[in-house]
Structure 1
Amino acid sequence: HSSPGATADAEAWERLWAQSRLVLHIEGQVLTCSLSAPCDLLAELVPCWQPVSSGPCQPLPGLQQPAGGKGPQEFGGLRPHPNLCVQVWSGGQVRLTQCLRDPGTFPGALPGRPDDLLLLQHGGNASLCAVERGACTPLASFTSRGAGHPGLLEQDLQRDVAVGQCQQLWHPSNRTGVVLWACPLHKYLRTHWALVWMGVLLGAACLLLLLLMKKEDVKGWLKSLRAGYGSKGE
C-alpha cells in the first residue's frame, strides 16, 4: 500500500516525462539525439535495434551514455540506419523512445528494413554473431527467419561483410573494439522461398505423373480383364 506522498511523487514524475521530448538528428553520417525536459533528469540514452516497429528493441552493446546537457549527443560515431532507435531509461523503465523510421522524427524519415540482420564482430576477430532476442548467436548456429538449417548463411554473410554488401553501423575505432554491421537478408529469403516453391511444383509434377501412370496401368488392367471375359464367353 503506497503512501499519498509516494503516489504524488510518481504522478509528478509522470507529468515531467510527459513534458519531455527526445529528438533524433542525422548530422553528416552520424546519429545524434537531443533530450529536452523542464529540468535536469537522471537518465540514460540507450541506442537500440528494432527491425519491426511492434517488436522489442535490442540495446546496442557499449553505446549507452548518461543524458546530459541541452545540445545534441552522439554515440561514438554511430551511423544512421532505419532500424535504429534511441530509448531514454530512468528508474529501470523506458520513458521515451524515438526511431529513425518514425515519420515525426524529422523530414524524410527512413523506411524500415525488417529483413536486415544486425551482426556483431569483435575487433581483430573475424568471427561474427547475429544479435537477436537479447543474445548474440554465432553464425555457425544461426537460423534465419526464413527457416533453413543452422549455419546455412554463415559463409554468405561473411562474404557480404568482406565485400562491403553490409552497412557498417559502428566503426572499429570505438572504445570497446566492437564492430556492428547491418546485413540485408531479403535476397536469401527470396532464394529460400523460390527453392521451396520449386520443390512444391516438382513434387506436384511427380505426383501427377505417378497418377497418370497409375491411370494407364488401370486402363491396361481393365482392358486385359475385358479381353479375358470375352475369350471365356466364346
Structure 2
Amino acid sequence: MSPLRWLAERDEDAVELMDDPDADLDALERTYVRFAQVNAVVSNVGAVYRRWVRPALSPTVTRRVLDVGTGGADLPRALLHRAHADGLRLEVTAVDPDPRALDWALRQPPQPGLVLRRVTSTELALAGERFDVVLSNHVLHHLDGASLGALLADSERLARDGGVAVHADIERSRLGYAGFALGTLPFEPNLLKGSYIRPDGLTSIRRSHTARELAGVLPPGWSVRRGFPSRLEVVWGADA
C-alpha cells in the first residue's frame, strides 16, 4: 500500500494475537492485568462514567449496567469503584463468550455489584434481560458487518425503556496510530513486557473504523460521537 494510503482503509484481515485460540495463556493473562492501567488512559473511563453511567444511577435504587465483551472486567470494576465513591447503587453484569477471559476475571478478588457471566448479548436479549445502560469497550473493531448489526439490535432490546446503549471504540487515524505507538514504546521492555498490549493495540487501530464509516452503516436511531483520545461512541437512546 502507498504511504499516502496507509490507514486510509480499514484492515479487516488483520488479526490480534490474543484472539488466537492458541494464544500463549501467560501472555494473555498478563494482558488482562495491564488492561486496567492502559484503558485508564486510552478508554477515558472517567468520561464514560460521568456522561453515560452516573446520570442513570440512584442512591436508593440499584441500577443495572451491562458490559459486553468485558475481557478482564477492568471497565466494570472502575465503574463500580466510582459509583461507590459517589454513594450510588450499581450492579454491572460483565459478559464475554471467551472462557479464557471469564476464567481469569473469576479468579480475581470479588467486588460487590460485579456479576460475571459467560454468555452473549443475543442470549441475554432472548432471555428477556433488561438494563439501564448497555456498554462495550473496544469491541466494535472485532466485528464483521453482520455481527455489528446483531450487537446493535441486541442492544436496543437490552436497554430498558429510557435506557441508553453506548459502544465505544478507537477511531482509526494516523495520529492515533502514531500516538499509541510512541506512547507505549517506553513501556514495552517493562510494564508491557510479555503482554499483547502493544502489538494488539496497533492491530486494533488498523482494524477500527472512522466516524464516517460507522455513520454510513448504522441503523436508524443510532448516532456516532467523537471523544478523547481518538475515541468513537456509537449511541442509541434518549441522548442519541
Give the number of the structure whose residues are more often helix, by fraction. 2
Please give the TM-score of this superposition, normalised by the length of structure 2: 0.24
The higher radius of gyration belongs to 1
Please give the TM-score of this superposition, normalised by the length of structure 1: 0.24
Higher relative CO (Cα under 8 Å, sequence separation at least 6) belongs to 2
